[in-house]
Amino acid sequence: MDQTQVIDPNNTAEIHKMLAESGYSEKAIDYFLQKPYMGDLPDADQISQMVGSCGDTMGIYLKVEAGVIQDARYQVLGCPGAIASAMAAVDLVKGKSIPEARKLTDGDIFRLLEEIPPKKHHCIQLAVKTLQKALDEYEHKVR
Ligand code: FES
């Protein structure tokens, strides 16, 4: 008999348990399960994309008005750590000026997430690098 355990993607209780046992905090699990900023912005002023060292991909959509990030969304083809990090990044940069958003660090996201497994820290870096790339490309365009 096949002993492989298949997790039902709709069974949030099972997913929650598995992530908690892997070292994700309640906060990180909430961001992953709720995905509050996953998707696109039809009227985005900047769309950028980045592929991480692991091969996972993030796209970011920024709405910028008068130099302030009004809204942002991420599209993430990646792991729970990547999704939680991207969602936390939006909460940290929404309403911030571009220079303020540029100061976002991996540590800021880690503090907001409270805990994710150590081998997932590069997922936080991918969220930050994707944002920085979008800010670079946006500023290059409007300069
Ligand atoms: Fe690739 Fe998390 S494993 S971003």
Mind listing the pLDDT tens digit for each residue in 79-95?
999 999 999 999 999 99
pTM given for the model: 0.94
Cβ(74) to ligand 1 under 6 A? no
- For the Cβ of 86 lying below 6 angstroms from any atom of ligand 1, the answer is no
Q: Which of 79, 106, 109 to mutate to test the pocket of ligand 1 (most atoms within 8 A of CB)?
A: 79
Residue 1 confidence (pLDDT) above 50: no
CA 133/CA 64 separation, integer angstroms:
15
The CATH number, out of the four listed (3.90.1150.10, 1.20.1260.10, 3.90.1010.10, 3.10.110.10), of the domain defined by the range 12-142: 3.90.1010.10
Q: For ligand 1, say whether the CB of 80 is within 6 Å of any of its atoms.
A: no
Q: Rounded to an integer, what distance in angstroms lies between the CA atom of residue 53 and that of residue 40?
A: 23
Extents of the domains making up the chain? 12-142
Q: Which of 64, 93, 87 is nearest to 74 (CA)?
A: 87
Which of the four pLDDT bands, split at 50, 70 and 90, describes residue 8? confident
SS3 state at 46: strand
